[in-house]
Chains A and B, each alone.
Chain A
Amino acid sequence: MALVIRYQKVFIHALIIAGVVIMLYPVLWMLSSSLKPTQLIFTDHSLWPKEFTLDHYKNGWKGISKTTFTTYYLNSFMLVFFAIIGNVVSCSLAAYAFARLEFKGKKWMFAVMLMTMMIPLHVLVIPQYIMFNKLDWMNTILPIVVPKFFATEGFFVFLTIQFIRSLPRELDQAATVDGCGPLRIYTKVILPLIVPAIVTTTIFTFIWTWNDFFSQLLYLTGQDKLTVTLALRMFLDAMGESALGSLFAMSFLSIVPVFLMFLFFQRFIVEGIASTGIK
């Protein structure tokens, strides 16, 4: 009996590992191809290259028409940085008000907040594009970053509200007795306690903004304004299949920051998905 269970366990592990190999094979193939000399990419079928080269990384980094990936990475990181600050500050402010303060119109405002989460981006994007064009914000990061300072991603507001609601109200009451007003309660009591919600907001803002191709495609057009995501697409169009090695090398590098985020913050990501159903 014990032996049967042991065999069953081995079988399950084998099945799961086989699944993992199939799932990750494309990504490993991309990494392996980026390290092979061009002529071997399609002829050397093994994942472990017979010959290693870093040329694709050197050539790929040079980018297209004099702008290097250094610029693209700086652009991406700047975009992500401001997006995170915007989301964290504005969403936690709104969440505190919804979770803890009493005011007229709270019910319907909360309903409005939930409704905004359901509107597809495509319904809003054309008027927004026209507006940003009138404001002369084209080819800057403003159209992507500024809305985030106004809690437009209702999802993060909602997530933070749920988190604050799980904190005992006695904490605020004690602070009120000590003479704290809402602002001090928010900064001294609530903010330190909602660090997990802030971390979750930070991680997902990072990953989504990094990968958000659509907005970047719409608003960033100048060669020196491109992000890593856009540069990869340009690369694909400009080089086609001839520079496949460099294309793979830069593609792989572009997902490294996302991998690293995941590696460091796995727990928050998994809990965030499990409790709120992200994406």
Chain B
Amino acid sequence: MRTKLARRRSEGLIPYLFLAPWMIGVLAFSAIPIFTSLYLSFTNYNFVGTPNWIGLRNYITMFTNDPQYLQSLKVTFTYVFVAVPLELAFALSLAMLLNRGISGLGMYRSLYYMPSLIGGSVAVAILWRQVFGEDGIVNQALGIFGIDMPSWIGTPSHAVWALILLKVWQFGSPMIIFLAGLKQIPNDFYEASSLDGAGRWKQFAHITLPMLTPIVLFNAIMQMISSFQAFTPAYVISEGTGGPVNSTLFYTLYLYQNGFGNFQMGYASSMAWVLFIIIGVFTWLAFQSSNKWVHYDN
């Protein structure tokens, strides 16, 4: 009886021992920082002085008196809402092409995934500077068709496109998720519909796409969240400036410049919170709209 009681008590504590690292981690690296960050966002903390409470001033400045901030918002929104749909379209097209019972699927899938694996690296950002430079391979290829282009990364109206294409180039992981989804669609559906005389496009519109909508939603949210936070390519390709003329001043790059370049940590914290809210709102909107277009089978 006593041993049983003792064992129960010790088992009562043991789970917390397993969880201890995680609990300390959450407290030290998530909970305390998140409240500190919220507090700092209402201060003018500059890393050396003491934080002074300035209320909403950072937030007001951002939207009324900081053209660079608004520019960074514009660049980031352009990036997210052009790159993500394009990326998903490519991912889905390739997944459908690869899902037609062809041989060598494993190899093709790996080859298409390769860019995603290295796409976030500095090496690829460096490569992209050259690929979209004045004599880069993209302009050489366009030259064959008689199209004469300036350096993409040196031209304000073109630079963000080089970054968008870098993102689209990395369609590998949504593609793999689409492929997994396509495999779940029962073959009977297609067989039944071809007996009814449905063509390939009809099958796509009435079977494939509706069945895949939960995965489209998932991929869209995942890619949107990661694109809002993109940093490395913009930093490396513009050598940390966001240039030319702020045309690649990504949100996180401007946040970095404020927080760790000028040590305006109060202001950078406010920026981080606005980003958090933006991501939250768009994720919520995606889920809200999903009632209208996502089909779940019962």
Please say whether chains A and B are actual partners in one complex. Answer: yes
B30 proximity list for chain A (CB < 8 A): 116, 119, 124, 152
Please name all residues of chain B whose beta carbon is closer than 8 Å to the beta carbon of A121 when the two chains form the complex: 229
Chain A 92-106: CB-based contact to B (< 8 A → 1; otherwise 0): 011011100111001
Q: How far is the CB of A151 from chain B (nearest CB, A)?
A: 4
Is the pair A150, B123 in contact by a Cβ cutoff of 8 Å?
no
Chain A residues within 8 Å of B112, by CB:
19-20, 23
Given the known inter-chain contacts A123-B34, A124-B34, A218-B260, please indicate yes or no for A232 contacting B122, CB distance below 8 A: yes
Q: How many residues of A sit at the interface, in one of the four size bands? A: 35 or more
Which residues of chain A are near B113, meaning CB under 8 Å?
269-270
Query: Looking across the interface, which residue of chain A has its beta carbon closest to that of B35?
Result: A127
**B67 on interface, CB distance cutoff 8 Å:** no
Question: Is there contact, CB below 8 Å, between A150 and B131?
Answer: no
> B121–A255 contact, CB under 8 A?
yes
- Given A123-B272, A126-B40, A129-B260 in contact, is the A262-B18 Cβ separation under 8 Å? no
Q: How far apart sit A133 and B15, CA to CA, in the bound complex (Å)?
A: 33
A157 and B22: CB pair below 8 A?
Answer: yes
Task: Count chain A CB atoms within 10 A of each CB in B114, B135, B140, B256 and give the residue with the most.
Answer: B114
B232 CB contacts on chain A under 8 angstroms: 211, 213-214
Whole-angstrom distance between the alpha carbons of A56 and B129 in the complex? 19
Residues in A with CB closer than 8 Å to B286 are none
CA A233 – CA B173 in complex, angstroms?
26
> In angstroms, how far is the closest chain B Cβ from the Cβ of A94?
4
B97 and A15: CB pair below 8 A?
yes
Q: CA of A131 to CA of B31 in the docked complex: distance in angstroms? A: 13
* C-alpha gap A112/B26 in the complex (Å): 8
Contacts of B268 in A (CB 8 A): 126
Name the A residues within 8 Å of B155 (CB-CB).
none
- Residue contact A150 to B276, C-beta cutoff 8 Å: no
In chain A between 43 and 80, which residues have their CB closer than 8 angstroms to a CB of chain B?
45
Of A127, A131, A147, A259, which is in contact with the most chain B CB atoms at under 10 Å from its CB? A127
Q: B226 near A: Cβ within 8 Å?
A: yes
Interface range on chain B: under 10, 10 to 19, 20 to 34, or 35 or more? Answer: 35 or more
Q: Which of B32, B110, B235, B272 contacts A262, CB < 8 Å?
A: B110
**Known contacts A94-B18, A94-B19, A127-B32, A16 near B97 by CB under 8 Å:** yes
Complex alpha-carbon distance, A24 and B32, angstroms: 44
User: B94 near A19 (CB under 8 angstroms)?
Assistant: yes
Q: Are B111 and A20 closer than 8 Å at their CB atoms?
A: yes
Task: Let me know if A152 and B114 touch, CB within 8 A.
Answer: no
Which residues on B sit within 8 Å (CB–CB) of A26?
Answer: 124, 127-128, 131, 137
Q: Which of B57-65, B72-80, B174-182, B202-210 is found at the contact surface with chain A?
A: B174-182
Q: Which of B1-34 contact A (CB under 8 A)?
A: 11-12, 14-16, 18-19, 21-26, 28-30, 32-34
**Residue B156 interfacial (CB < 8 Å):** no
Interface set, chain B 84-138, CB cutoff 8 A to A: 94, 97-98, 100, 102, 104, 106, 108-118, 120-124, 126-131, 135, 137
Describe A's contact surface by its main secondary structure.
helix
Closest Cβ of chain B: how far from A10's Cβ, in Å?
10
Min distance, Cβ A205 to any Cβ of chain B, angstroms: 14
> Is A207's CB within 8 Å of the partner chain B?
yes
A and B contact pairs by CB, cutoff 8 A, 27 listed: A27-B115, A30-B123, A97-B18, A101-B15, A113-B26, A120-B225, A122-B271, A123-B273, A124-B37, A126-B268, A127-B32, A147-B25, A150-B24, A150-B25, A150-B26, A182-B11, A236-B236, A254-B121, A255-B124, A262-B110, A266-B106, A266-B110, A270-B110, A273-B177, A274-B180, A277-B177, A277-B222
Binding site for A on B (CB under 8 A): 11-12, 14-16, 18-19, 21-26, 28-30, 32-34, 36-37, 40, 47, 94, 97-98, 100, 102, 104, 106, 108-118, 120-124, 126-131, 135, 137, 140, 169, 173, 176-177, 179-180, 218-219, 222, 225-226, 228-229, 231-232, 235-236, 239, 252, 255-256, 259-260, 265, 268-269, 271-273, 275-276, 279
Listed from nearest, the 9 A-B pairs whose CB atoms lie closest are: A150-B25, A251-B123, A127-B33, A127-B36, A97-B18, A103-B15, A94-B22, A274-B180, A151-B22
